[in-house]
A and B are shown apart, each in its own frame.
Chain A
Amino acid sequence: MSLPPETFKTLVRAAAEKVIASAPELTALDQAIGDGDHGANMKRGFEAVLGKLDTIGAQPLDEAFKTIGKTLVMTVGGASGPLYGSFFMAAGDALSGSKHLPEDLAEVFSRGVGAVSARGRSQAGEKTMLDVLVPVLETLKSEAGRPDLVELVRVTASEAVTRTVPMRATKGRASFLGERSVGHVDPGARSSCVLLQAVCDTLEAQQ
């Protein structure tokens, strides 16, 4: 079994369009505890990904992931570029090795999460995108094979975003705010959730 290229292309388009549409919300969140550029940065990066969609759809899956990652690195223009870029490039590396989608989803996702953690020198609990990615990885591992896995991932991501509200940022720009970062949703956690939910919605629509 392998992920059909057409399905992958549909997933990438859906995720990119959703994050572009969410740019105003991401910007508003980032204005509260960051420098207000997260929405514009993600929009620019994923518009570039959409521009390469035909290339991405024609590539082997590992190369497609690497193209997405490199495109984000080169176009986002904020720390989220290398962070999301590293996720996709590391996932691509895993697929270049012995891993396959969808059967090795948890392991491929884990490689991506590991790359984000290394790039940001950050762990879960520090009010970052890892506070969504790590719980989702746990769900992918513990619930692998369940028919309702897509729904479980959606719920996990959504609840994980809410849990960033009381967290105090110790990484990224929000860390300058210290205690004042408490009480706000983390913009990176939210953008991770937007991307994951777009993937979940698209998979469900295809089922």
Chain B
Amino acid sequence: MNDTVSVVIVSHSQDIAKGTADMVRQMVGSEVKVAFCGGNPDGGLGTNVPLIIDAINRAWSPKGVAILVDLGGAETNSEMAVEMLRPEQRNLVVVCNAPIVEGAVMAATEAAGGSSLEQVRAVAEELSAS
């Protein structure tokens, strides 16, 4: 199997993150690696840098990782997580400015065709252009 760009889903809610990942797997299949995380360090609603780093590493692909987030803190914590990766990983991870569910499905669909990280990101971000 050729490597594809992977997708990481970061929500404040573990349930939303899992549900989004389920939708991606059903609609796109399993050729794209998908990891998800949600919740703060106490298990309540929130996001959490160590869990995001874990999810990136679980989904890791040499073609790159596209992260989809829900609200503000998920974006800030995801950007922080990317900066805390090993230097050789950092340039291969992007946080997409796109709605979480639609963005994850579109990103995974594009990734399944073998597209580059930049193409995957561009397709996901078209959703927030209008």
Select which of B12, B40, B46, B79 is within 8 A of A82 by beta carbon: B79
CB pair A37 B44 closer than 8 Å? yes
Cβ-Cβ contact count across A and B, 8 Å cutoff: 56
Interface string of A25-37 (1 = CB under 8 A from B): 0000000000101
Q: Do A77 and B47 form a contact, CB below 8 Å, given A82-B77, A172-B72, A173-B72?
A: yes
Q: Do A120 and B46 form a contact, CB below 8 Å, given A41-B40, A75-B41, A77-B40?
A: no
CB pair B76 A35 closer than 8 Å? no
Minimum-distance CB pairs A-B, first 7: A77-B40, A82-B80, A79-B73, A79-B76, A77-B46, A78-B73, A82-B76
Select which of B12, B42, B44, B84 is within 8 A of A73 by beta carbon: B84
CB pair B84 A78 closer than 8 Å? no
A44 at the interface (CB under 8 A from B): yes
Residues of chain A lying within 8 A (CB to CB) of residue B45: 35, 37
Q: How far is the CA of A85 from the CA of B77 in the complex (A)?
A: 11
Residues of chain A lying within 8 A (CB to CB) of residue B44: 37, 40
Q: How many residues of A contact B (CB 8 A)?
A: 21
CB pair A41 B46 closer than 8 Å? yes
- Can you report 18 A-B residue pairs in the complex whose CB atoms are below 8 A from each other? A35-B71, A37-B44, A37-B45, A40-B42, A73-B80, A77-B40, A77-B46, A77-B47, A78-B73, A79-B72, A79-B77, A81-B49, A81-B77, A83-B76, A85-B80, A171-B72, A173-B71, A173-B73
B50 at the interface (CB under 8 A from A): yes
